[in-house]
Structure 1
């Protein structure tokens, strides 16, 4: 019996989707003892396999039907969308959605392969390419996440849900009590963990840049008793 290449591919995709779904279920049960189905706003087109991964644990909405949603997955980010978002200008409907999500503390996950400017790495003038790299970093500073794929976005989203339903104690804070001086780079280690609270020592000094980072990312700081 001959099995076609497409049949093998479809079977492999189905296996991956089932594994991701099972992984999401385990993470939800282990982290907060509950099962949750979220809503995700997708900007741009996903591949069928990526869409199926998201549908395994979240209800997908498009820009045309956007209502209430828990997080955003930006599958395609044009040069214009990247610039508008980094500059805080709602010049496109997609940019407005991303900025509103970040302002309200919701997560935005941008797929690396969807960043249009990266296609011009070999041909672009260096200074211009670096400008768009700065825009990308600026979005990270705003709280956006650049992820390798939909699966990473899904896992990060579940970790955020974990923090939402966990009790408010020191176990839900990112532990930086060993530092005498808290800098911006130290807080950057929290990126993608889902933590919104950082625990520091009684005498830890917070640098001005760290204070800006805390304010820009709506983080909470607690000192050890």
Structure 2
């Protein structure tokens, strides 16, 4: 789950070794404590109640909503002319040439009249509704 980018939580009540603090050998108990600290270093959070996870999730969702709104506002303030890019120095336009600028928010492409667009690039243009202007 950690490698997939998902957050992992452990309930304190699930840590059995804590119940035996008074009877366990000190070296063994300290070893378990170090294991717990290693888990925290890897990104696993130890929580008391499930409600704390829900509180964290609602805070993150609110923060994401605020970021999305501010991103949309900043994008809407940019005129359409600024959302285009030029590939005039290339004779052959591939899908890779279009993908990176598209991921950065570009919606139109200016290419040379003699440029050749590969079939895969044509599909990319059609699927993502890019505007192509030949100059």
* Smaller-chain TM-score bracket: 0.3 to 0.5
Using structure 1 for the length normalisation, give the TM-score: 0.30
Q: Which has the larger radius of gyration?
A: 2
TM-score, length basis structure 2: 0.47
